[in-house]
Amino acid sequence: MEEKQYLWRYNDIEKRMNELHKKYKELVDIFFGDVIDKNTGYFPFYSGIKYSYADLNISFYRGLIYIHGGSEGMQAKKINISVDDVLKRTERSFEKLSEYIKSTFIFEKVIHDFQMFNLSDLASIYNDDAIAHYYFETHSDLYLSDKSTKIYRTPNSLLENANDLPASLRKYTQLLETVNDKDFETHIVEAYDCFMSEKRLATSLLLGRALELMCRLILNKFDKDIIKQTPDYKRNIRTFLNEMENNDLIEEHLKHSVKAAIEHRNSIMHGIKIEEYNSIIQTLFDEIAKLSNVYKSLNKQ
């Protein structure tokens, strides 16, 4: 009786996908549990998987799965399609069947699709595990590659999901391509190294310096006399922001958002929660990116 219940569980596509996700998450926890908090962007299926599926039960496969991406919790959408409807159009060809379903019933981006084998024996379950291992290995390879890549060397390709990471290589390299300044590059590179080494106060300090330096670079590019004519005791980020606003280089809302970022940075303590810390680092970084766009726009004037 227990065996029948166990096997029946694996006739349900959504339950099998839940088990697949469970295996993926277990692998991430085992190998990257100590760094997952700040690197979830590299493991997009960690919190859940968004997918569509066709429940067909044809021949040796149970159904077709179309992965759309990661999500908070498992999000499954069953495709309203009958076996007879697809067989008369696809001649039982998996390739034709998959393309027909994608072009007719699926309107979201599909990043991967696969056949879920029918349950003739327990080997089908191991196939599910193999798919979980495939996703894990693909994502972990990207993480390990990025971690060993020097950020002043632009990687050829990075996962789009990595863009929301405070330590995203893509964002850092974009900054260094936009702002050609040795001191600025040094601050960003060192901040990245400190972030990866979990030196929180050092990371925030370096990003704060990079933020102030970005203001200096903008003003010097616009008019070098502005800072020269500013008394030493007034040469700080708040003065620089006011000067930029007075010269119509930035809008008032950007000035206030940069000031707020600096205040958040000053609130970082050794015992800060990792989620709050990551949020502050991301905010600092976003403000640097906004100012770098102002710097870049001066080339067009």
Q: How many angstroms separate the CA atoms of 86 and 56, rounded?
A: 9
Q: Let me know whether 161 and 287 are in one domain.
A: yes
204-223 per-residue burial string, b: 16 or more CB within 10 A, e: under 16: bbbbbbbbbbbbbbbbeebe
**What pLDDT sits at residue 8?**
52
CB 49 within 8 A of CB 75: yes
Q: How many angstroms separate the CA atoms of 34 and 31, rounded?
A: 8
Q: Let me know whether 223 and 266 are in one domain.
A: yes
Number of domains composing the chain: 2
- Domain coverage including residue 48: 2-146
* Nearest one of 17, 143, 117, 149 to 76, comparing CA atoms: 17
Q: What integer best gives the mean pLDDT of the chain? A: 80
Q: What percent of the chain has pLDDT over 70?
A: 78
Last-in-domain residue among 88, 112, 146: 146
pTM of the predicted protein model: 0.52
Q: Let me know whether 44 and 159 are in one domain.
A: no
Phi first, then psi: give them for residue 109, nearest 5 degrees.
-65, 135
- Mean pLDDT to the nearest integer, 214-218: 94
Q: Let me know whether 59 and 175 are in one domain.
A: no
Is a pLDDT exceeding 50 seen at residue 154? no
Q: Let me know whether 60 and 100 are in one domain.
A: yes
Q: Let me know whether 6 and 137 are in one domain.
A: yes
Using a 10 angstrom Cβ sphere, with 0-12 exposed, 13-18 middle and 19 or more buried, the burial of residue 274 is: exposed
pLDDT tens-digit readout, 165-192: 454 545 566 666 778 888 888 888 788 7
Last-in-domain residue among 146, 164, 179: 146
Q: How many angstroms separate the CA atoms of 147 and 70, rounded?
A: 22
CB 241 within 8 A of CB 255: yes
pLDDT tens-digit readout, 84-132: 877 777 666 777 788 888 888 999 999 999 888 876 555 555 578 889 9
Q: How many angstroms separate the CA atoms of 214 and 265, rounded?
A: 16
Last-in-domain residue among 146, 173, 199: 146
| Helix H or strand E segment including 50 | strand 49-58
Give the CA angle between residues 143, 149, 154 to the nearest 5°.
105
